[in-house]
Structure 1
Amino acid sequence: MIVLKEEQLPWSVVPRITTRVHAQAALGTRQTTLWEQRIEPGGFIPIHYHDTEEVITVLEGAITLNDGESHRTLHAPATLLIPANEL
């Protein structure tokens, strides 16, 4: 078992997005990755997909998802379950 304290996990910053990784191979997991992201108004992540399922949980505010064909806004609290190879 690995115990990580949040204050020990570094934040990385790119314009309008701050990210902290809670789980990934470099931290000892084999199949799970968990990121915490704080996205400022106007911040965005380009359209992409993963070869594994993805779970997005909105804790505060709202996000707008754009799959290239439509837009969908999720308001907190909400969780989005995305199948592998989709978005």
Structure 2
Amino acid sequence: MIVIRAADTQTIETPNGNHGTSLATPRLGATEVTVVRQRQAPGGFNPTHIQNREEVMVLLSGHVTVSSGDERVALSPNETLIVPANAPHRVDNTGDTDAEWLIISPSGMQFYRETGEEASPPWIK
């Protein structure tokens, strides 16, 4: 078993009011699954992006809207969204407080910008 203590995690700030904390990633010893805690400031957003694997998003606090094409889904705390592989989507904090959620995905997930360029968020490693 591997224990990952809070003191061993690091929160990394990324653009647009976002912060990511690796909870279970390859760097921390996970081999089958990746778990990341995301925090987003009010008005913050994750620009449209694509992952090559399914992503599960569990909203812990705040309110976000996830957009994919013409579809917009508002999430409240304790709600879960499953984003299919290769679905372009964007996450916006639509509330007036920080929003926090877990991202759960298979290890080895790759991210791509809307342009098709591969992205490598530092918290996914």
TM-score range, shorter chain: 0.7 to 0.9
2:79 corresponding residue in structure 1: 78
TM-score by length of 1: 0.87
Aligned equivalents of 1:71, 1:85: Cα separation in 2: 17
Matches within 5 A, 1:1-87: 1-15=1-15, 16-86=17-87, 87=89
Aligned equivalents of 2:31, 2:50: Cα separation in 1: 20
Identity of aligned residues (%): 33
The answer on whether the counterparts of 1:47 and 1:68 sit within 8 Å (CA) in structure 2 is no
Aligned equivalents of 1:22, 1:12: Cα separation in 2: 12
C-alpha displacement of 1:75: 1.1
- Give 5+ residue unaligned stretches, structure 1: none
The answer on whether the counterparts of 1:57 and 1:79 sit within 8 Å (CA) in structure 2 is yes
Partner deviation per Cα, 1:18-58 (whole Å, 9 max, x = no partner): 11001111111222111101111111111122121111011
Matched position secondary structure for 2:45: coil
Letter in 1 for 2:3: V
Superposed structure 1 runs of 4+ greater than 4 Å apart: none
Which structure carries more relative contact order (alpha carbon 8 Å, separation 6+)? 2
Letter in 2 for 1:48: H
Letter in 2 for 1:5: R
- Give 5+ residue unaligned stretches, structure 2: 90-125
Matched length: 87
Matched position secondary structure for 1:46: strand
